């Protein structure tokens, strides 16, 4: 499904604050994998995840998605590509605090010109998948940590993407809630999604969601 060849991401190239955050990564990811990317803080996990989400352009190398060299595409094509294929759960959720859960989940649908009924159906379905349907009318500011994570996951699912990427999805949760979120990802994987998560929490590795572990250090996969 995904192939990376000699992928590099250099921040501030040729300046004295240059950082080689991802270095010469060759990686193949099959559909249906539950991939864990682990490594110490600063090892390049978030940078690799942003590259996999096509939210960041590689400095060099090629990203193939289903044999298409998407890293060569313009932003206009990438927007449509992401809508169809990629759901992202950010580490700090990036939810709109002044709005309710329903509105937050609906955000990725707004550019698509759907009817209110279609939007409502898709939001309901994603909310059910993420087990947050009982909170749709709640303002974001009234949610617990686990509910924030579920809302962010529902928003990532609302366009029915093939791949779900989550950056440190258990980092802000207690161990019981972390387990529930990992169980949710496992359910989604069983339904056919490809799941890619980063974590520096050793407990994540033991979860049945995880079918493969990659360890990063200094921008490289060990
Ligand atoms: P991790 O998620 O494993 O903690 P990151 O991918 O966030 O690692 O960071 C990898 C390296 O890239 C770190 O040295 C970090 O300081 C640096 N870095 C991350 N984002 C930027 C940025 N926007 N500009 C410059 N350096 C960055
Ligand atoms: Mg990170």
Q: Where residue 142 sits, what CATH number does that domain have?
A: 3.40.50.300
Give the pLDDT mean for 105-129: 97
Domain range for 141 is 2-221
CB-ligand 1 contact for 46 (6 Å cutoff): yes
Task: Give me ligand 2 centre to Cα 116, in Å.
Answer: 36
CB-ligand 1 contact for 218 (6 Å cutoff): no
Nearest CA to ligand 1 atom 5: 44
CB-ligand 1 contact for 200 (6 Å cutoff): no
- At 169 the pLDDT is 96
Q: Is the pTM of this model over 0.85?
A: yes
Nearest CA to ligand 1 atom 25: 11
- At 54 the pLDDT is 96
Sheet holding 2-11, edge to edge: 19-29, 2-11, 60-65, 68-69
Confidence label for 202 from pLDDT (cuts 50, 70 and 90): confident
- What does the mean pLDDT of the chain come to? 96
- At 203 the pLDDT is 86
pLDDT one-digit tens code per residue, 67-82: 999 999 999 999 999 9
Beta-strand relationship, 60-65 and 19-29: unpaired
Q: What is the dihedral of CA 118, 124, 125, 127, to 10 degrees?
A: 140
Q: How many domains is the chain built from?
A: 1
The dihedral of CA 156, 162, 166, 170: what is its sign? positive
Task: Give me ligand 2 centre to Cα 167, in Å.
Answer: 7
């Amino acid at each position: 499904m995904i192939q990376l060849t000699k992928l590099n991401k250099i921040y501030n190239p040729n300046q004295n604050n240059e950082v080689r955050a991802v270095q010469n990564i060759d990686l193949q990811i099959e559909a249906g994998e539950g991939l864990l990317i682990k490594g110490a803080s600063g090892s390049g996990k978030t940078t690799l995840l942003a590259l996999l989400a096509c939210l960041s352009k590689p400095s060099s190398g090629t990203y193939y998605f289903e044999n298409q060299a998407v890293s060569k595409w313009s932003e206009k094509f990438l927007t449509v590509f992401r809508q169809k294929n990629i759901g992202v759960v950010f580490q700090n959720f990036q939810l709109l605090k002044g709005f309710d859960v329903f509105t937050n989940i609906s955000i990725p649908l707004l550019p698509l010109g759907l009817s209110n009924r279609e939007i409502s159906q898709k939001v309901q379905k994603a909310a059910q998948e993420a087990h947050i349907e009982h909170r749709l009318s709640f303002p974001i500011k009234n949610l617990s940590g686990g509910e924030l994570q579920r809302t962010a996951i529902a928003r990532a699912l609302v366009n029915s993407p093939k791949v779900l990427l989550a950056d440190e999805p258990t980092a802000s949760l207690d161990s019981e809630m972390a387990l529930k979120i990992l169980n949710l990802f496992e359910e989604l994987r069983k339904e056919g999604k490809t799941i890619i998560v980063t974590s520096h929490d050793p407990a994540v590795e033991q979860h049945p969601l995880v079918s493969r572990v990659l360890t990063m250090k200094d921008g490289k996969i060990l």
